[in-house]
Amino acid sequence: MNPPSEIPGGATGTGPAPLLLCDVQALAGGAPASAGALWKLAESGRHLDANLVHLPPGESVATHREPDLDVLLLVVAGGGTLGSPVGVQPLGAGGLVWLPHGSTRRIDAGPGGLSYLTVHRRRPGMRIGRRAADAPPAGPPGT
């Protein structure tokens, strides 16, 4: 076994190293006029997905439901509203929202636009074969 490596500040460790990915405030500050992702987490071997999304003034993400994943949404610039069956909540820079799986939501940008970071567990890749619900019952072990 290799000895742990020395890290500035006195910490030691082995394995993958932390990595500064981007400055979300700088990216959001120069947001384009069109809606879309300004940045996406693309590192190999990751267990998370993350996106920095920008909505220009008056744009929205239509009402939708995420059945499988909890999502954290952090507003990094601008403002707007989050609509759900329980009402409309204001969104502003620094606001951190938990969107539980199964929840219905709509996001509307305010007059200054809205830029936000979303983080959620990575979806498994596509697989060829039957879904578990479609598969025949399992036989005895070893068959």
Query: Which tops the pLDDT comparison, 87 or 138?
Result: 87
CA dihedral 24, 41, 34, 118 (to 10 degrees): -70
Q: 128: which residues sit within 8 A by CB, 6+ positions away? A: none
List pLDDT tens digits, range 68-81: 899 999 999 999 99
pLDDT tens-digit profile of 27-48?
A: 777 766 677 777 787 778 888 8
The tokens describing 88, both together, are 């409309």
Radius of gyration of the chain (CA): 20
- Report residue 33 CA to chain centroid gap: 22
Contact between residue 97 and residue 73 where contact means Cβ atoms under 8 Å apart: yes
- Using one digit for the tens of pLDDT, what is the confidence trace for 84-135? 999 999 999 999 999 999 999 999 999 999 999 999 888 766 557 665 554 4
Instruction: Provide the residue count of the chain.
Output: 143
Average pLDDT over residues 6-31: 72
Please give the pLDDT value at position 131: 55
Distances (CA, A) of 106 to 9, 23, 64: 44, 26, 7
- 25: tokens are 């405030």
Question: How far, in Å, CA of 78 to CA of 10, rounded?
Answer: 39
β 71-84/96-99 pair status: antiparallel
